[in-house]
Amino acid sequence: MKLLIASLTLAMLIFTGCSQKNPDVDMTAKDGKSTEVAKDIATDKKADNLTGIDSANGTSTEVTKDIAADANAIAEAIAALENDINKIYFDFDKYNIREDMESKIRSNARLLNSMNARDFSIKIEGNSDEWGTDEYNYALALKRAKSVKSALVSEGVDAQRIMLVSYGESNPAVNESNKAAWDLNRRAEFKLLP
């Protein structure tokens, strides 16, 4: 997986990397007239380089198709893994891991340490319900994300792979104002990044 990511990064650098300056070329013939043929050759060569056509034999390279296929495969792998990661829910005005969420933390740690997920970074997104000030809810949501990170690290997940984000009340799972919605909005969610 690391080789795949390194290959994708290298290919992206090659295709989007440093631009090449076109050298100034004197396109005038000895008689002082412009040689349109030389201009056409230079233009064709430049177009061939951009489209991946090998001008020696006129065949198209499959590099861009391979990169797109690899990117799609990574996106599909991330989506499948994220689908299996449990959200962690919290009690009102609390950031400690509830007893009923401990098994979900262990399950998430096993999944995040699996061969399929080991090469991805983990973003833990802390959230709160609408009760309290914006500042208080951002701080509470960050504490929730930190407690989830600590729990995952204690289960063997590398702390260097984990980043934290607090959304406070700004990212509700349910846009209603009732107890059931508030229970679902007090949570930590997970996103995987290549």
Query: Domain coordinates of the chain in residue numbers?
Result: 2-61, 85-193
Degrees, nearest 5: CA angle 124-126-129: 155
Kindly state the tokens that stand for 182: 């508030």
Number of Cα atoms under 13 Å in the Cβ half of residue 47: 7
Amino acid 61: pLDDT: 58
Q: Does the structure show a pLDDT above 70 at 193?
A: yes
Compute the average pLDDT of residues 53-74.
66
pLDDT above 90 covers a percentage of the chain that reads 56
CA 108, CA 55: separation in Å to the nearest integer? 51
Compute the average pLDDT of residues 169-193.
95
* 88-89 sheet: strands from edge to edge: 88-89, 187-193, 121-127, 162-168
CA 26, CA 41: separation in Å to the nearest integer? 14
Query: Is residue 12 very low, low, confident or very high in pLDDT (cuts 50, 70, 90)?
Result: low
Q: Among all chains, which residue has been given the structure tokens 């809810």?
A: 137
Query: Are 149 and 159 in contact, with CB atoms under 8 Å apart?
Result: yes
Architecture of domain 85-193: 2-Layer Sandwich (3.30)
CA 156, CA 152: separation in Å to the nearest integer? 7
Amino acid 64: pLDDT: 73
Amino acid 7: pLDDT: 55
Query: Is residue 18 very low, low, confident or very high in pLDDT (cuts 50, 70, 90)?
Result: very low
In degrees rounded to 5, what are phi and psi of residue 18?
-55, 135
User: Which tens digit of pLDDT belongs to each residue from 26-49?
Assistant: 444 444 444 444 444 444 444 444
Exposure string of 19-54, with b = 16+ CB inside 10 Å and e = fewer, is: eeeeeeeeeeeeeeeeeeeeeeeeeeeeeeeeeebe
Question: pTM of the predicted model, to two decimals?
Answer: 0.66
Compute the average pLDDT of residues 120-135.
96
Contacts of 9 (CB under 8 A, 6+ apart): none
pLDDT above 70 covers a percentage of the chain that reads 68
Better-predicted residue by pLDDT, 45 or 144: 144
User: Which tens digit of pLDDT belongs to each residue from 70-119?
Assistant: 788 889 889 989 999 999 999 999 999 999 999 999 999 999 999 889 99
Number of H helices, E strands in the chain: 6, 6
Amino acid 67: pLDDT: 80
Q: Does the structure show a pLDDT above 70 at 20?
A: no
